[in-house]
Amino acid sequence: MNNQPTVEIFESADKRSLGDAAISIDDRRLKRLTSLAIHSLDADIGGISIVHSDRIWLPSHVGPVRNVIETSGSFCSSAIQAKERWFEVGDACVTEEFSRNPLVELCAFRHYAAVPLVLGSTPLQGTLWVMRKRAGQMTMAQRQALVDLADLATEALEVRYFDEITGMCNRTFFEHQLQSLMDAGLMHVTVGYINIKASNQLRSALGEDASQTLVRTIGKRLEAWAGGGALVSHLGGDRFAFALLSGSPAADERIDALTDILQMPVELPGGRDHWPRVRIGVKSGELNGQTASELLQNASSAALACQGWTIRHYDTARFDEAKLLSQLCKVVRNNAEFGALEVHYQPQVDVARGAIVGWEALVRWRHPQHGLILPGAFIPLAEQAGEIAALDILVLGQVCQDLRSWLDLGLAVPPVALNFSRDTLFHTDLMRSVIALMEQYEISGAYLECEVTETQCSDLPALAHVVTRFRELNWRIAIDDFGTGYANLETVRQVPCDRIKIDRQFVHGVSCNPILAGLMRTLGDIAKLFQLELLCEGVEDANDVRWLSEQGMPLVQGWYFGKAMPSTKVIELLNGSQVADTIVENLTLRDLIFNSR
């Protein structure tokens, strides 16, 4: 018989793949179990197999078997499908199912015996198996020996390759699987690293049970999303990973969908809903000699660099922070070489009236190489460079310019709210710049609102002085993030204001959480006591909108009504030429605009 096909189909024990060579000292236990099974049962070859989708991965084997093989026509798949504690083929040469198997046809192995393994809390399964070239049947003693060894193999695999909390594959298993596929010819892969934001704060506030519930739920969602075309892993703690195993152009869309899935509310012990937030780092492209470990590290670096992004690709995560800071300083000084700052506007809605009653101005940086950068990525840089006051005034100037263009078009324009940093708010030249811009664009203070954040409330006398100056210009004043940090009852008692804004942590899930509902009613009573408007931020759920409206809290803002949009979209919306989907029963954005006039 010509042995050449054997070389093409299998890898001999002397020519192991990188995935096999990379097995660490801990895997020697699996090797010993495999060798013990072969010798005690007088077999010729053997191994431990794990089935994943349409592939079988062998973390341990002795004999001419690849690290990764197809499930189709395999002994392992048949052993698992039989759903029996013991599986044996006395003579594969005379069976239609296995006679064409390469191990039988090319290598002359005839006898196969295996014990199925159930691994972790996931549906992953595997086998401990042995083969020999002579046909026959195992004795009862030999069967029991293989069953006992299979129990030891299951324990070793679970300790080595599976996470204790989620039952998912751990980092070692993930990297070995991916590396084996790469060694077997995988040419393109998209590796993702997922980090759950603020998980330590959740653990500190609500305990370990709440933290583990969140992690298990995220893990189940990730597995359901992955299906058969991806590898997934719980890396430990609040970190997960995935690998999409093809160059599909839909990879970005799949990752966008994953973000939405992972950020759906999670019910914690006690019936409390938690809205997780994640950041995802991605490394994708053709493979150029990188190892699986290096790809995962690249994706991890991208995730850590996310800041204002939810998803960030490794190549864009590597640009130097100092270089970006230098570019931002030039942008603030109106140097267009590195893009420009843009102001986007998110609507504030009165559900009871069915009207848009305001906009919040949110700054973005349109970078020529890195696209639209969110403020979380560059505001800290501006503060670090001492340029935050100049940036805030630049934003105010853009808002005044947009307001003037809207008014000149004859549009009904509600007030626009702006956030000023602490350094800007207490800057000695602030009011002079504000007045100059209002005069330049002929904008009345009635069209402007200053949002005071909780960090600015630590010095109430100084804050009250600045706020009074704004009110003299007819600006409205809102206390942002009320109920958190320094933004409390003492603030509204000492600082003249028109509105308090409730942070999203008190709003999400209020319709189905009695504790949140009680807190919101208390905050509503405080607003009534001080004769202040109350606006709820971060509204994303129709039931929450309905509950707030029924409780007499109709002013809301959030993604349920729309994300922040550029000025051109605001004009289209105010003109009624852009119609959105229904957002509160039969209330559409067209209705909101009509009712706002």
Tell me: the pLDDT tens digits for 136-146? 999 999 999 99
From residue 568, alpha-carbon distances to 239, 343, 442 in Å are 39, 11, 21
Pick from 254, 228, 243: nearest CA to 193: 243
Distance, in Å, from the CA atom of 402 to the CA atom of 397, rounded to the nearest integer, reads: 9
Q: What is the pLDDT of residue 12?
A: 28
Provide the pLDDT for residue 162.
Answer: 83
Instruction: Say what the pLDDT of residue 109 is.
Output: 92
Question: Left if phi > 0, otherwise alpha if psi is -120 to 50, otherwise beta: which for 127?
Answer: beta
Are the C-beta atoms of 464 and 494 separated by less than 8 Å? yes
- 441: alpha, beta or left? (left if phi > 0; alpha if psi -120 to 50): alpha
What was the pLDDT predicted at 182?
85
Six-digit token pair at 160?
């080595």
CA distance 449 to 476: 4
At residue 321, the pLDDT reads 61
Looking at residue 449, its pLDDT comes to 96
Q: Are 396 and 427 in contact (CB under 8 A)?
A: no
Q: Where are the domains of the chain?
A: 4-161, 171-317, 321-596
Which residues does residue 286 pair with via DSSP β-bridges, in sequence order? Answer: 188
Residues of the chain scoring pLDDT < 50: 1-26, 316-317, 319, 577-597
Non-local (6+) Cβ contacts of 405 within 8 A are 567, 571
**Cα–Cα dist 416/447, whole Å:** 6
- Residue 120 sits at φ, ψ, to 5 deg, of 60, -165
Of 189, 209, 274, 236, whose CA–CA distance to 505 is shortest? Answer: 274
Residue in this structure with the two tokens 């942008």, named with its chain if needed? 331
d(C-alpha 75, C-alpha 432), whole Å: 81
Phi-psi region of 452 (alpha: psi -120 to 50; beta: other; left: phi over 0): beta
Specify whether the CB–CB gap between 365 and 381 falls below 8 A: no
Please state the pTM of the whole predicted model: 0.49
Determine the Cα–Cα distance for residues 528 and 522; give it in Å rounded to an integer: 10
Pairing of strands 476-482, 499-502: parallel
Q: Report the alpha-carbon distance of residue 67 to residue 459 in Å, rounded.
A: 65
CATH class of 171-317: alpha beta
| C-alpha to C-alpha distance for 128 and 58, rounded to whole angstroms | 10
The structure tokens listed for 291 are 């190892």
Q: Do the Cβ atoms of 27 and 160 come closer than 8 Å?
A: yes
What single-letter amino acid sits at 71?
A: T
Number of residues that this document lists for the chain:
597
The pLDDT, as a whole number, for residue 27 is: 66
β-bridge pairing 45-52 and 125-132: antiparallel
- The CB density around residue 347, as the number of other CB atoms within 10 Å, is 25
CATH class of 4-161: alpha beta
What is the DSSP-derived secondary structure letter of residue 207? Answer: -
Q: For residue 190, what are its two tokens?
A: 């998209």
Contacts of 526 (CB under 8 A, 6+ apart): 489, 492, 500
The answer as to CATH 3.30.365.10 being correct for domain 321-596 is: no
Residue of 571, 581, 572, 576 lying closest to 593 (CA atoms): 576
Instruction: Choose among 492, 487, 497: nearest CA to 449.
Output: 497
Q: Return the pLDDT at 145.
A: 93
Query: In whole angstroms, what is the distance from residue 354 CA to residue 65 CA?
Result: 68
